[in-house]
Amino acid sequence: MVRFGLSLSPVQIEPVKKVYFLILLAATTYNVCLGQQDPQFTHYMFNTMYYNPGYAGAEGLTKFTALHRSQWSGYEPSFGDGGAPTSQIISMTSPLNKIRSGIGAFIVNDRLGALNNLEAQVSYAYHLALKDTKLSFGLKGGMYSQTLDFDLYRYIDPNDPLLKDQIGKTSQVRPDLAAGVFMQREKYYVGVSFNHLIKSTFDFGVSQRSALQPHMYVTGGYYYQVNFDLRLQFSTLIKSDFTKTSFDVGGLAYYKDKMWGGLSFRQSEAAIVMLGYSLLKDRVLRVGYGMDVIVKDREAKQPLSHEILLTYELPVNPAIGKKIVRTPRYRH
């Protein structure tokens, strides 16, 4: 996988194909060997709102989440100022109990060298109660913006006439749509969602186009109560752009529902360590840290990636609704 900052060999390609190659490179360069366009997050088990609109309001409380990820920390390009990839997300989810529904929203900023992706999405989910199971159907819609900084490119032919007007930053905004189903019980949850259903395209002034490819996400998790103080969570995330498929799998141990730690593995890329701590009354504020240790293709990357997590839950009003609590005796 070629990334920004690496010099390209002087291959002879006709002018239109040169421009197309650079745009295609920008649109598909993020995920290692997969070519997926969406950012990846180590704390996916705390970030379900991003992957599945059916999760909106499913936990029965209002929750805010913020994540910052520094991919391949310390990476420096061989030319230009592209730097290492970074991603940020801010999201919220809240139930609408009177109409058996939930809402959610998030903003994502994803910087990939010369390419910057910005998303603003709103989700709605309808909840069905089936005995001890909650089944949710969700839709997500919003805008997806791409910004290209042509000053960060190193062109094969700087005199190409098709590049004469490509100076500085150029942005385009397109609509986006997703759908998902999410099911949960006290001890486990599972969900499947499909993103970028519209398959919006970005052309940036040239005849060839780069399209948002549909993605499928499958999330799942299981909780196991070891004893009064110790609870385990096993989770997985399967990602596919219908060309390549990869997965994350991991486990966390929660001690008195106040602190946690665990390990995770991302297929063909990294081994991951996660730590976290809950603060304030009723443990409504969570702080987490994740460190990815790259285990494949290390010669092309920096060995470590870092991620910081913050979540905050608003108090539950008993007269309106009740939060799904995995271990009720820990709540006082």
Domain spans of the chain, in order of start: 15-330
31 neighbors 85 (Cβ within 8 angstroms): no
Task: Tell whether the model's pLDDT for residue 31 goes beyond 70.
Answer: no
Q: Which of 188, 149, 145, 185 is nearest to 167 (CA)?
A: 149
Q: Indicate the helix (H) or strand (E) that contains 26.
A: helix 15-28
- Angle, alpha carbons 33-85-206 (nearest 5°): 75
Q: What is the pLDDT of residue 329?
A: 43
Give the distance from CA 151 to its chain's centroid: 27
247 neighbors 267 (Cβ within 8 angstroms): yes
Q: Indicate the helix (H) or strand (E) that contains 27.
A: helix 15-28
Tens-digit pLDDT profile for residues 213-236 = 999 999 999 999 999 999 999 999
CA 60/CA 148 separation, integer angstroms = 40
275 neighbors 293 (Cβ within 8 angstroms): no
The torsion angles phi and psi of 62, rounded to 5 degrees, stand at -95, 125
Place of tokens 């141990």: 253
Task: Tell whether the model's pLDDT for residue 155 goes beyond 80.
Answer: no
Q: Which amino acid is at 87?
A: S
Q: Between 3.30.70.20, 3.40.630.30, 3.40.50.300, 2.40.160.40, what CATH number should domain 15-330 receive?
A: 2.40.160.40
Which runs of consecutive H residues, i.e. helices, occur in the chain? 15-28, 48-51
Query: Which DSSP string do the residues of 67-100 spell out, in sequence order?
Result: EEEETTTT---SSSS--S-EEEEEEEEEEEGGGT
CA 215/CA 299 separation, integer angstroms = 29
Q: What is the pLDDT of residue 17?
A: 37
Q: What is the pLDDT of residue 126?
A: 98
Task: Tell whether the model's pLDDT for residue 175 goes beyond 60.
Answer: yes
Q: What is the pLDDT of residue 322?
A: 53
Reported confidence tier of residue 210, pLDDT bands at 50, 70, 90 = confident
Q: State the DSSP code for 208.
A: S
Q: Which amino acid is at 258?
A: K
CA 226/CA 239 separation, integer angstroms = 30
Give every CB contact of residue 312 below 8 A, 6+ residues apart in sequence.
63, 64, 284, 285, 286
Tens-digit pLDDT profile for residues 235-287 = 999 999 999 999 999 999 999 999 999 999 999 889 999 999 999 988 999 99
pTM of the model: 0.81
Which region holds residue 53: left if phi is over 0, alpha if psi is between -120 and 50, else beta?
alpha
